[in-house]
Amino acid sequence: QVQIVESGGGLVQAGGSLNLSCTASELRFDRHSMGWFRQAPGKDREGVASFSRYGAITIYADSVKGRFTISRDNAKNTLSLQMNSLKPEDTAMYYCGAIRPGIAGRETLAPANVFNWGQGTQVTISS
């Protein structure tokens, strides 16, 4: 059973930064498109950013474009999400997910296309 583990969440003030990371012991991130997703209380899970295995293309949700940066370290088999200029509306549980093969473009931000999820890490932004 592949286990994806996220870390780096926490409580920060608006305008601050956080860096999230995820890794997995039995899943090669460079062989899969990977993404970060989030779910706020009472809301559906949504895609935040993805990193495609096909040409290392990155896709961002409009709400985070210019503030968040997704990256992958093949040597460490980690996926990171650098989050800057955080806003209270960024408060959510953040999940790392492995995306099904063959999915590309903005479809990589669709939670329905994820076949393996981490347990999540909580991000809380105070105003």
Mean pLDDT for the chain?
96
pLDDT at 35: 97
What confidence tens digit (pLDDT) does each residue in 101-123 have? Answer: 999 999 999 999 999 999 999 99
What per-residue string of b and e applies to 9-41 under the rule 16 or more CB within 10 Å gives b? Answer: beebeeeeebebbbbbeeeebeebbbbbbbeee
By the 8 A CB rule, do 62 and 50 touch? no
- Full pLDDT tens readout for the chain, 127 residues: 779 999 999 999 999 999 999 999 889 998 999 999 999 999 999 999 999 988 789 999 999 999 999 999 999 999 999 999 999 999 999 999 999 999 999 999 999 999 999 999 999 999 9
As given in the structure block, the two tokens for residue 18 are 């956080």
- For residue 54, what pLDDT is reported? 81
pLDDT number for residue 55: 77
* Cα 87 → chain centroid: 17
